[in-house]
């Protein structure tokens, strides 16, 4: 706890120094490296992203900046992003792990698909984004599918590897008890592989956050990525810095939740 506070304080100090030493202020009053205080005082600007709802009205364009409206704006767009992230990760997880299990069912299939899957892992994901933009347009579905795809590529490969590393004696033992087929895959092979898949899921969470923010650059009407994209368009460096911090916090929270869930699911593992 004390260490955590120390690290945060340290980051703020380095950030402040960087702003003072490296930053310059342009003629229009924009600082190229905004200081922490400049970034945090950009918070009310988020009011512009609150479009109303739940019986509340959107603020007036010129005089609506307030802490409350900014918080609503942040929540509204944060929820939109998290919604896309959760759906995308869930789909990518189920399809990636599911296909991994199916492929490893047959030795021939596994040996055919595994090299292809490793090749797919090398693919620069963000370079694929325009393709998804063309396929789906600026729709929610497009972002969700892009996130799902980025998670799928990681987990498919990780699952195949993890299942290959499951010791043979588990399936021998299960077969000698009369267990086979789908029951064997789901109640023996998959749980035995889970501790190794766990690392892949955490890795995929990082990819998923990149994917969802980048996906929202493509003409989305809401989301943290959209705010970042607009702030960039208007050269609002202070708001950009703030959004960077807020996104890291949001990603950190999702990461901690997933990590906690995975620890619970693998609480049987021997230390």
Partner 1 sequence: MELRDVNREFTQASGEHIRGMDGVSFTIPQGQFVCILGPSGQGKSTLINMVAGFDTPDSGEVVVNGRPVRGPGPDRGVVFQRDTLFLWKRVADNIEFGLKARGVPKAERKETVDRYLKFIGLEKFARAWPKELSGGMRRRVAIAAVFANDPEVLLMDEPFVGLDYVLRAALHEVLLELWSRTEKTVMFVTHDIDEALALGDRVLVVQSGRIVRDVPLDFERPRTLEVLESQEAAHARVAILRSMGVPDAV
Is residue 105 close enough to count as binding partner 1 by CB under 8 A? no
Is residue 183 close enough to count as binding partner 1 by CB under 8 A? yes
Closer residue to partner 1 in complex, CB, 155/188? 188
Q: Which stretch binds partner 1 (CB under 8 A): 107-115, 153-161, 191-199, 244-252?
A: 191-199
Is residue 173 close enough to count as binding partner 1 by CB under 8 A? yes
Smallest gap, in angstroms, from Cβ of residue 166 to partner 1? 12
- The Cα 50–Cα 103 span in angstroms is 46
SS3 labels along 141-170: HHHHHHHHHHHHHHHHHHHHHHHHCCCHHH
- The Cα 114–Cα 120 span in angstroms is 10
Per-residue burial over 61-70, b if 16 or more Cβ lie within 10 Å, else e, is eeebbeeebb
Quick note: the x/- pattern for partner 1 over 146-165, rule CB under 8 A, is --------------------
Smallest gap, in angstroms, from Cβ of residue 193 to partner 1? 10
- The Cα 92–Cα 87 span in angstroms is 8
Closer residue to partner 1 in complex, CB, 42/189? 189
Helices (H), the chain: 2-22, 36-40, 67-105, 107-121, 129-136, 140-164, 168-176, 181-184, 190-216, 224-233, 237-265
Is residue 64 close enough to count as binding partner 1 by CB under 8 A? no
Is residue 61 close enough to count as binding partner 1 by CB under 8 A? no
Considering only 58, 126, 192, 203, the residue that binds partner 1 (CB under 8 A) is 192
Is residue 177 close enough to count as binding partner 1 by CB under 8 A? yes
DSSP codes joined into one string, 18-54: HHHHH--B-TTS-BSS--HHHHHTTGGGGGGG---BT
Considering only 170, 210, 230, 250, the residue that binds partner 1 (CB under 8 A) is 170
Q: Which stretch binds partner 1 (CB under 8 A): 30-38, 40-48, 124-132, 190-198?
A: 190-198
Are 157 and 115 in contact by the 8 Å Cβ rule? The answer is no
Sites of contact with partner 1 (CB under 8 A) = 169-170, 172-180, 183, 187-188, 191-192, 194, 266-271
């Amino acid at each position: 706890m004390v260490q955590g506070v120390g690290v945060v304080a340290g980051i703020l100090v380095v950030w402040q120094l960087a702003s003072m030493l490296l930053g310059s202020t342009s003629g229009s009053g924009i600082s190229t490296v905004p200081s922490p205080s400049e970034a945090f005082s950009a918070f009310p600007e988020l009011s512009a992203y609150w479009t109303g709802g739940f019986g509340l009205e959107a603020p007036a364009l010129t005089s609506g900046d307030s802490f409350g409206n900014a918080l609503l704006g942040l929540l509204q767009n944060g929820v939109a992003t998290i919604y896309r992230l959760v759906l995308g990760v869930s789909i990518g997880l189920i399809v990636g792990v599911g296909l991994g299990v199916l492929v490893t069912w047959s030795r021939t299939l596994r040996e055919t698909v595994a090299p292809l899957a490793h090749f797919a892992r090398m693919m620069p994901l963000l370079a694929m984004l325009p393709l998804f933009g063309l396929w789906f347009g600026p729709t929610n579905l497009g972002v969700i599918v892009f996130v799902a795809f980025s998670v799928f590529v990681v987990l498919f490969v990780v699952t195949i590897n993890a299942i290959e590393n499951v010791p043979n004696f588990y399936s021998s033992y299960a077969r000698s008890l009369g267990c086979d087929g789908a029951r064997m895959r789901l109640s023996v092979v998959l749980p035995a592989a889970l501790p190794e898949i766990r690392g892949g899921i955490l890795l995929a969470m990082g990819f998923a956050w990149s994917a969802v923010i980048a996906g929202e650059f493509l003409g989305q009407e809401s989301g943290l990525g959209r705010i970042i994209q607009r702030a960039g368009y208007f050269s609002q460096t202070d708001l950009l810095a703030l959004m960077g911090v807020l996104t890291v916090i949001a990603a950190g929270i999702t990461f901690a939740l997933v990590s906690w869930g995975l620890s619970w699911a693998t609480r049987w593992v021997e230390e």
